[in-house]
Amino acid sequence: MTDTNTTTKARGSTGLSRRRFTSLLLASGVSAPAILRASGARATDSVKMAALLDLSGGLDIYGRPMLMAMEMAVEEINATGGLNGKPLELITYDTQSNMQLYAQYAQQAALQDQVDLVHGGITSSSREVIRPILNRYNTLYLYSTQYEGGVCDRNTFCTGTTPAMTSKSPIPYTIDMWGPKFYSIGADYNAPRIMSDWSRTFGEQAGGEQVANDFFPLNVTEFGALITKIQQARPDFVCSALIGAAHLGFYRQWAAAGMLSEIPIFSFTFGSGNEHMMLPPEESEGIITPCSYFQEIDSALNRDWVSRYHARYGDDAPYQNNVSIGGYEGTWLWATAVRNAGTAEREAVIEAMEAGTSWTGPGGTLTMNAANHHSSRDIFFGRCTGGAWEPFHTWENQQPSDTDGRCDLIANPGQNVQFGAE
Amino acid sequence: MPQTFAPRHAGTLATSVLILGAAVVLPQTLGLFTLLQLTVYAVMAILALSLSITWGLGGVLCFGQAAFFGLGGYTYAVAVTNFGESTLPILLAVLVQALVALCLGWFMFMGRLSDLYVGVVTLCTSLILFNFANSTSDPWYRIGSAALNGFNGMPAIRGINIPFLPGALLSPVQSFVLTMLALLAVYLLCKTIAGSSWGRVVAATRQNPLRAELMGYDTARVKLGIFVIGSAVAGFAGCLFVNWNGFVSPDVFGLSMSAQIMIWMIVGGRETFVGPIVGAFALQALVSRLGVGSEINANVVLGGLLMIFVVLVPRGILPTVRDGLLSLGRKWGPGKTREVN
Amino acid sequence: MDLVLILTLQGVVAIATILLFSIGLAIIFGMMRVINLAHGEFMMIGAYGAVKSHEAGLNLWVAMLVVAPLVAALFGLVVERVLIRHLYGRLIDTLLATWGLSLFTVGVVTMIFGNTTSGVPTPLGTLRIGDYGLGQYNLVIVGVTLLVLALVALVLKRTSAGVLARATMQNPEMIAALGYNPRRIYAATFAIGSGLAGLAGGLLAPLTGVIPAMGVAFVAKAFITVISGGAAVILGTGTAAAIYGVISQSVTYVSTSVIGEASLFLAAIILLRLLPNGFAGRFFKGGV
């Protein structure tokens, strides 16, 4: 290698780049109008719904059954005449448990495929990636899993449960049943923290006391130290918002330490990842959870739905829990609004939703709240018995009152925030 | 060992013109969606180049390149939220990462850690950052007006504006042009370093540290230097990523992020600077294509591809294709054999 | 007093758990210099082997202690043959290839079994110490770990097969010249390392959630333990596991689990700076 020669060559190429650089800066100004081209006419031959769900990677445990639920809703809607004479088309995007792909696919759904609704997002994190993008490109968004509540955004509708529904009545009920002292544990992120805050608020109103709240990273599998701490604190019950497969370790080690029969567990999240099926029955016996849906709910509508579900996907189809059934409920609620509006156009559907669109399905009746764009719904208190859920109490028509007095999208359509616990 | 990274005037020129041409022509011809996709691919190409500097050129085995990428993103996000203007935050994203790399590199190289242990320390660093960023969901963790927000990540972050004009946010198309220009600048930076006399010392240190040391070069300092530059570029990529996404979450520190960068390099060809760019574009496009309406598990395809490449095409697409063409040329060309340089 | 006892016991269990899921990697990485990022997936395969064979009616102990390591070892043999064999001596390539293997395996297992698997029950009852309780099964883990360590040490130190394996790792040409087939020895060693990972997966199956992606939670910790340990499979890894187990467990008890995890990684960085060749390089030169 002859050094001097190649070195000058390299210098030469940088010199060249400087000239190019300036011309490029000019080019960037010229190209700005291209954005105008994005707002083309939407396709009119079908109504399109985009499903943004994790169908592979760590979160597919939620995404796969949810997609099945969505597919069922879409098939039923098309079998009953479609939407205002047009078929409903489902476009699925596998976000592969990757936040970057949520952003990419939200852009693709809005700009390229020009869908009428984006439905999906599982974690709150993914929802917060999607939401600003869909706001920017004027595409309606529906988020249908249970979450920490508080989103206040005119372009977004939420149909899952919020802490106002799962804490307000269930926490006092549990305190009556088991005693006032509870020890809160949860996964270390916003939703469990906000759930823990709400359970303290409602617990204290009912004369209870939250003796501690501990949070654990999602990848923690070893809970020995926590169990010792709980044994020291001797609460009347444990209030859990643990999430994910790693945290199953807690329930297992808890049972192995012989605690299951001594200190009962109330959980906001147990069952959302089908924990009750992944644990042997003797390790989940007696855990109670308030939520919007169990496959075991004893109503004619639900029995019929479950049998149709198994007819469609086979006897070993995954259990539909309160998270995954959101795919079915959300799709139907939106479709009802589209039918009411007579069009899938965004503004008209928002107005139809705000007029209080209501739909009754296997989990009871959902009614959209105009002020905060969340739906009210029934809450079932379930007890884990022999590895299955046994609903033992029902609160009908629970309101999404998390943001009452704070969020009013009718009076103030420009609001776009997420509120925390009071 | 084939001579690598030697600046070849024609190749550099062609690549530069290609990037430049794309930046000028594509906004006129492609739709907004495609431009948005290309923007993030270009950001990742810059990230791939940053590891090309650190590992490809400098031979510093950095398993935790995501640490600098992520910190760059967080630095930008926190700063821009506080300042409401993006000029200083971009500079900070670069400078802070240079500083962090200086401290970490000092600790590693002056301690004469072996290559593999450098890898482990960088890996640990990214895992610590991952765990730390995940554990900041308590509202107590805030810097100025920016809450770090833990696992959920920081949403709705301001994009880049025209320097010192907070009102003039870049449109997505302008962001695309900016990102392509940045890619070009980083590519030329790589070429310049590789072609400089210091770059030759770096290459010598990578190929035979002992010999370089005996010739009187302070190899620890050389490695430190290249590590700082690579990390600063990664920080810059992080800042551009947040500009594209308007969002940053602890995922940016993840093991899969670090591994992904290496995958792009391997597939594209780690002995060149164009290879990682090609690898980043190609694999990103593949990953997003796999996820739309298909029944195939994307991870199976990606994993299978990676295994096949490592075993069958270990040098990556670009060098393999180039050498194939050259040897064809030697075989068939009328005596026009050219030195591979 | 009860508290001290239970905390000590939990510390011992934590150390044993770390050791158990690191030992397979210690052999594959420590001896063979193959960076196996799919280590967690070998564990996962062991865990699935245990769960599925127990579901099919096999005795739980047989499923965990025999089927799990066997399945993983077989898988290891195949992987060695198809993938790893081409990559000896190419450290970084082993990392990339096994990263691919990890993605691939998780995907394939998800396609076959889905991602909801019912777990196996935790056997045995509870050990009561005053107000506190601890699963007796945890003590089984400690016992099995000790047994495995003793066996590995015995094989490596005292049997000709072990000596041969160690010699092959140092100088394969010489071993070939002596008339042995180093390829077979590599394959066998890799299979044994995989089998031990599978055993760890099988034994941990009753304590954690068994899903295709379960390996992720273990792989980083296993690596840090093994690398801090250095070249001595038993002594080095053992010391590292002891130090990390005590640090993370006590910090978690005193403060939070987050700080516990962070302190573990921080300790690793500092240790590496002080002992660039791991414990083995400093204290157990030439040991096993």
DSSP string, A94-122: E-TT-HHHHHHHHHIIIIIS--SEEEE--
pLDDT value, residue C229: 78
Helix (H, G, I), strand (E, B) or coil at A380: strand
B67–chain C Cβ distance below 8 A for any pair: no
CA dist A288 and C117 (Å) reads 21
Residue A35 has pLDDT above 60, yes or no: no
Residues A388-411, mean pLDDT to the nearest whole number: 91
What's phi and psi for A208, nearest 5 deg? -95, 180
Tell me the count of B-C CB pairs closer than 8 A: 111
Residue A8 has pLDDT above 60, yes or no: no
What's the pLDDT tens digit per position in C117-176? 677 777 777 777 777 777 788 888 899 999 998 998 888 888 888 888 778 777 878 888
Q: Do C257 and A58 touch (CB under 8 A)?
A: no
What's the pLDDT tens digit per position in B92-129? 999 999 999 999 998 888 877 777 778 878 887 887 88
Contacts of C262 in chain B (CB under 8 A): 128, 131-132, 135
Contacts of C136 in chain A (CB under 8 A): 256
Helix (H, G, I), strand (E, B) or coil at C131: coil
C133–chain A Cβ distance below 8 A for any pair: yes
Domain positions in chain C are: 2-283
Listed as ranges, residues in chain C with pLDDT below 50 are none
Residue B72 has pLDDT above 90, yes or no: yes
pLDDT value, residue C15: 87
CA dist B166 and B162 (Å) reads 7
Neighbours of chain B (3+ CB pairs under 8 A): A, C
What's the pLDDT tens digit per position in B80-93? 999 988 899 999 99
Q: Looking at the partner chain, which of B33, B247, B299 has a beta carbon nearest the beta carbon of A56?
A: B299
Question: What average pLDDT does chain B have?
Answer: 86
Contacts of C10 in chain A (CB under 8 A): 224-225, 228
Task: Mean pLDDT check: name the lowest of A42-46, B103-107, B323-327.
Answer: A42-46
pLDDT value, residue C287: 61
Query: Beta strands of chain B (E only): which ranges?
Result: 142-143, 146-147
C3–chain B Cβ distance below 8 A for any pair: no
Q: Do B303 and C105 touch (CB under 8 A)?
A: yes
Residue B299 has pLDDT above 80, yes or no: no
A218–chain B Cβ distance below 8 A for any pair: yes
What's phi and psi for B109, nearest 5 deg? -80, -40
Q: Do B127 and C83 touch (CB under 8 A)?
A: no
Question: What average pLDDT does chain A have?
Answer: 86
Min CA distance, B132 vs chain C (Å)?
Answer: 7
What's the pLDDT tens digit per position in A233-273? 999 999 999 988 778 889 988 988 888 889 999 999 998 88
Residue A31 has pLDDT above 70, yes or no: no
Task: Mean pLDDT check: name the lowest of A106-115, A324-333, B107-116, C113-122.
Answer: C113-122
Sketch out chain A's domains with CATH numbers. 47-161+300-313+322-376+400-418 (3.40.50.2300), 168-267 (3.40.50.2300)
Mutate to test the interface with B, among C34, C96, C282 (most CBs of B within 10 A): C96
Q: What percent of chain B has pLDDT over 90?
A: 40
Q: Are strands C126-129 and C132-135 parallel, antiparallel or unpaired?
A: antiparallel
Provide the chain C residues 44-103 that lie in CB contact (below 8 A) with chain A.
Answer: none
Q: Please report which confidence band the pLDDT of residue A10 belongs to, taking 50, 70 and 90 as the band edges.
A: very low
What's the pLDDT tens digit per position in B250-267? 989 887 788 788 888 888
Q: What percent of chain B has pLDDT over 70?
A: 94
What's the pLDDT tens digit per position in A45-91? 899 999 999 887 778 888 889 999 999 999 999 999 999 999 999 99
What's phi and psi for A182, nearest 5 deg? -130, 150
CA distances from B75 to A364, B95, B154, B240, C242 (A): 47, 10, 12, 12, 36
Q: Do B153 and A125 touch (CB under 8 A)?
A: yes
Say which residue, C27 or B69, is predicted with more confidence.
Answer: B69
Nearest CA in chain A to B200: A3
pLDDT value, residue A44: 61
Mutate to test the interface with B, among C269, C274, C282 (most CBs of B within 10 A): C269
Q: Looking at the partner chain, which of A214, A253, A282 has a beta carbon nearest the beta carbon of C135?
A: A253
Residues A218-242, mean pLDDT to the nearest whole number: 88
Domain positions in chain B are: 9-254
pLDDT value, residue A25: 41
Residues A351-363, mean pLDDT to the nearest whole number: 94
Q: Are the C-beta atoms of residues B146 and B82 closer than 8 Å to each other?
A: yes
Provide the chain C residues 96-135 that lie in CB contact (below 8 A) with chain B.
Answer: 96-97, 99-108, 110-111
Q: b vs e for C24-62, b when ≥16 Cβ sit within 10 Å of the residue's Cβ?
A: bbbbbbbbbebbbbbbbbbbbbbbbbbbbbbeeeeebee
Tell me the CATH class for C2-283: mainly alpha
Among candidates B297, B112, C245, which has minimal Cα distance to A222? Answer: C245
